């Protein structure tokens, strides 16, 4: 056959194709070898009638993966059931299906593969075991090794058996006991022989006469036939193996025990101890004092912009980081926000993260030396729900999106109320003198820049956009800073940036405290990776080389 039809789209493909050229559906079904099984957790009671088990659009390879027999409620033909046919003959291959055997959901699939499969002949040994000759079963897509081995045909089986056949007289006595009664040779005497003596009628007692009663009228024990199949040793082995497999399916398998302490565990613990130990030692002893890093252009730009802010400037401060990264972010932002507070800026706090508003409160409470109080020097407007869309909504109409503070106080100025001092005169984003975003996530940083930019691009806008980011955001943020015109007017990244800013302003205790241990930890981590990696790969290479030599010798 030169072509094979796709069961999904119905188009013709070359016979050797594994997947459809049109829709990529798999043309040749996969068969997986059985592995351990576990007791079912929940099995539905029944399938509602008429439910399509093969939904449209499902690809072949997925359909093939579904175990046919596990579909509950599916009415399977009797001879399809693994474990034997109706008359209790030997079990067949699980994939053996005839036209009637195909489940409904499979039969509904378009295509011809089932018909083609049916045309494949059944292995000889299977024919013999099932006695099936009328309807050749389908050939499985893949068969296990032992099934694919050439099997002896009937003639060979006969010959094989005849080689081992013993003469009746040679049977040992213990074996004779097992001989079925029906196997005993019938000893009906031949007519006319001297041994045949008439036992009834007038000729009773005479030998060599015609019998008065026909043979079949005489009472005798009915013959019995052996139930023992005539199978070769090879077939017996295969059958036993198959039976073992089937029985093991229903047997509860012990759960695999989790491995105890391995070399990987030891390595993990060693790395953790070295890394944490180094940082802890550095923090406790304070011996790793190091000079703060030099500031860079983007950091200096932030400093310049804050220095140029007018007194009592309105600044929108977004706290968009997670508690897990609060250590890095607080160290990066401390000196910058401290500078803002020194300038007496009024702060409006927002966040697109549910934990952001609380992190903002925590941050401001840790800024000792400034007496910023809620609803006087700063306003916490809370959480902006809805991710980027929510952010867009806030940028376009902040009053509508967040009308109240975190303590449910009306925040914005209106005809009915004066509003809070930090937001007086602010109606839209352009009314803030500065937007500062403290952010740990590259996607969030991008979202802020992209949503805020259209507002900042409006003519006569003097609002600047400044970012304080995690070190991992640097690569994303830099193109916005280097663009012409700048989309981000300045940024401070990571602890390094925070420390550089602290050096610039001469303030900010947190980055100074962290800088030494941080640097020491980085060096230890780098050395660990370098030395550990070299040692591990050397050990691996050494372990591999004897194996390679051994294989080469073989």
Partner 1 sequence: MNQLELFGLIFVVVFFGLMLALAILSRTRPVRQFREIPAFTRLRHTIGLAVEAGNRLHLSIGRGKLTGPQSAVAFVGLTVLDRIARSTMVSDRPPVVTSGEGAITVLSQDSLRGAARAIGAQFDPLRGRLTGLTPFSYVAGALPVIYDEDVGANLFIGSFGSELALLNEAGERAGSLTLAGTDNLSGQAVLYATAEEPLIGEETYASGAYLGAGAMHIASLRTQDILRWVIISLILLGALLKLVGVL
Partner 2 sequence: MKAPFYVAIAMAIGLIVLLGYFLHLDILVNLRIVLLEWAVILSAVALLVGTANLFYVHWRKFTTAQPNGFYSAVLIISFVITLVVVGWFGPTHAYSMWIFNNIQVPIEGSLMALLTVLLAFAGVRLFRRKPNLISILFIGTAILILFATGPLFGINLPGLSELRAWIAQVPAVAGARGILLGVALGTIATGLRVLMGADRPYGG
Residue partners of 261: CB distance under 8 A and separation at least 6:
none
Least Cβ distance, residue 360 to partner 2 (angstroms): 10
67 binds partner 1 (CB under 8 A): yes
Which part of the chain contacts partner 2 (CB under 8 A), choosing from 17-25, 120-128, 169-177, 350-358?
Answer: 350-358
User: Which of partner 1, partner 2, none does residue 187 bind to, with CB < 5 to 8 Å depending on kind?
Assistant: none
Q: Which does 23 bind (CB under 5 to 8 A by kind): partner 2, partner 1, none?
A: partner 1
Is residue 74 packed enough to be buried (19+ CB in 10 Å), middle (13-18) or exposed (0-12)? middle
* Residue 479 interacting partner from partner 2, partner 1, none (CB closer than 5 to 8 Å by kind): partner 2
Name residue, tokens 């036992």.
199
CB atoms within 10 A of CB 333: 27
Smallest distance, Å, CB 421 to partner 2?
18
Nearer to partner 1, 192 or 454 (CB): 454
Beta carbons of 329 and 467 less than 8 angstroms apart: no
Q: Of 85, 232, 288, 464, which one interacts with partner 2 (CB under 8 A)?
A: 288
Q: Of 356 and 508, which has the nearer Cβ to partner 1? A: 356
Among 241, 409, 536, 548, binds partner 2 (CB under 8 A): 536
236, interface contact from partner 1, partner 2, none, CB < 5-8 Å by kind: none
Which token pair is 66?
Answer: 């579904």
Identify whether the C-beta of residue 490 lies closer than 8 Å to the C-beta of residue 299.
yes
Instruction: Give 21 or 200: the residue with its C-beta nearer to partner 1.
Output: 21
Q: How many residues does the chain have?
A: 554
How many residues bind partner 1 (CB under 8 A)? The answer is 67
Within residues 394-433, the interface with partner 2 by CB under 8 A covers 396, 401, 406-407
Whichever of 81 and 476 has its CB closer to partner 2, that residue is 476
Residue 277 as a binder of partner 2 (CB under 8 A): the answer is: no
Window 73 to 92, contacts with partner 1 (CB under 8 A): 73
- What track of x and - describes contact with partner 1 for positions 429 through 448 (by CB under 8 A)? ------------xxx--xx-
Cα–Cα distances in angstroms (integers) from residue 536 to residues 261, 263, 421, 542, in the given order? 18, 11, 62, 10
Q: Annotate 506-530 with b (16+ C-beta within 10 A) or e (fewer).
A: ebbebbbebbbbbbbbeebeeeeee
CA of 309: how far to CAs of 206, 264, 426, 463, in Å? 144, 55, 16, 10
List the alpha helices (DSSP H) in 421-473: 442-456
Q: Which of 46, 47, 65 is nearest to 106 (CA)?
A: 65
Is residue 32 involved in binding partner 1 (CB under 8 A)? yes
Residue 483 site contact among partner 2, partner 1, none (CB < 5 to 8 Å, cut-off depends on kind): none
Give the residue, chosen from 52, 522, 545, 548, that forms a contact with partner 2 under the rule CB under 8 A.
522
Shortest Cβ 156–partner 2 spacing (Å): 52
Distance CA 97, CA 141 (A): 12
Residue appearing with tokens 């200096």: 300
The answer to whether the CB of 188 falls within 8 A of the CB of 215 is: yes
Contact 86, 100 (CB under 8 A): no
Chain positions contacting partner 1, by CB under 8 A: 8-9, 13, 19-26, 30, 32-44, 47-48, 51-53, 55, 57-67, 70-73, 255-256, 322-324, 353-355, 386-390, 441-443, 446-447, 472, 475-476
């Amino acid at each position: 056959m030169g072509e094979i039809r796709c069961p999904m789209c119905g188009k013709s493909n070359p016979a050797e194709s594994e997947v459809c050229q049109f829709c990529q559906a798999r043309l040749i079904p996969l068969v997986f070898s059985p592995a351990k099984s576990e007791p079912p957790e929940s099995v539905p009671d029944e399938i509602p009638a008429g439910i399509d088990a093969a939904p449209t659009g499902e690809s072949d390879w997925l359909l093939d993966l579904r175990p046919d027999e596990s579909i509950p409620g599916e009415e399977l033909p009797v001879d399809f059931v693994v474990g034997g046919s109706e008359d209790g003959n030997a079990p067949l291959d699980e994939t053996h299906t005839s036209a009637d055997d195909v489940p409904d959901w499979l039969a509904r699939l378009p295509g011809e593969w089932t018909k083609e499969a049916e045309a494949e002949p059944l292995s000889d040994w299977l024919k013999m075991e099932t006695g099936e000759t009328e309807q050749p079963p389908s050939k499985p897509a893949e068969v296990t090794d032992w099934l694919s081995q050439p099997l002896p045909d009937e003639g060979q089986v006969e010959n094989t058996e005849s080689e081992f056949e013993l003469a009746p007289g040679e049977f040992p006595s213990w074996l004779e006991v097992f001989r079925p009664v029906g196997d005993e040779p019938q000893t009906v005497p031949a007519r006319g022989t001297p041994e045949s003596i008439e036992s009834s009628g007038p000729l009773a007692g005479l030998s060599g006469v015609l019998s008065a009663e026909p043979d079949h009228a005489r009472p005798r024990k009915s013959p019995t036939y052996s139930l023992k199949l005539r199978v070769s040793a090879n077939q017996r082995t295969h059958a036993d193996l198959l039976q073992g497999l089937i029985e093991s399916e229903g047997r509860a398998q012990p759960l695999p025990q989790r491995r105890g302490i391995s070399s990987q565990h030891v390595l993990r613990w060693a790395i953790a101890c070295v890394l944490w130990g180094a940082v802890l030692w550095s923090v406790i002893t304070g011996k790793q004092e190091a000079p703060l890093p030099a500031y860079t252009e983007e950091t200096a730009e932030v400093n310049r912009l804050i220095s140029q802010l007018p007194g009592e400037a309105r600044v929108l401060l977004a706290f968009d980081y997670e508690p897990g990264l609060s250590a890095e972010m607080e160290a990066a932002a401390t000196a910058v926000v401290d500078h803002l507070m020194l300038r007496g800026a009024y702060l409006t706090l927002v966040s697109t993260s549910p934990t952001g508003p609380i992190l903002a409160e925590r941050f401001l409470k840790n800024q000792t030396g400034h007496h910023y109080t809620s609803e006087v020097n700063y306003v916490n407007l809370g959480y902006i729900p809805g991710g980027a869309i929510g952010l867009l909504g806030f940028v376009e109409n902040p009053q509508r999106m967040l009308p109240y503070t975190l303590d449910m106080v009306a925040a914005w100025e209106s005809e009915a109320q004066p509003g809070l001092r930090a937001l007086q005169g602010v109606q839209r984003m352009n009314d803030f003198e500065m937007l500062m975003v403290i952010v740990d996530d590259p996607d969030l940083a991008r979202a802020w820049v992209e949503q805020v930019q259209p507002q900042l691009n409006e003519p006569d806008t003097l609002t600047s956009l400044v970012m304080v980011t995690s070190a991992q955001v640097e690569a994303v943020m830099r193109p916005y800073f280097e663009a012409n015109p700048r989309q981000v007017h300045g940024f401070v990244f990571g602890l390094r940036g925070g420390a550089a800013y602290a050096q610039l302003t001469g303030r900010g205790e947190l980055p100074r405290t962290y800088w030494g241990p941080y640097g020491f930890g980085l060096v230890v981590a780098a050395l660990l990776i370098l030395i550990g990696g070299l040692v591990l790969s050397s050990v691996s290479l050494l372990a591999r080389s004897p194996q390679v030599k051994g294989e080469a010798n073989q």
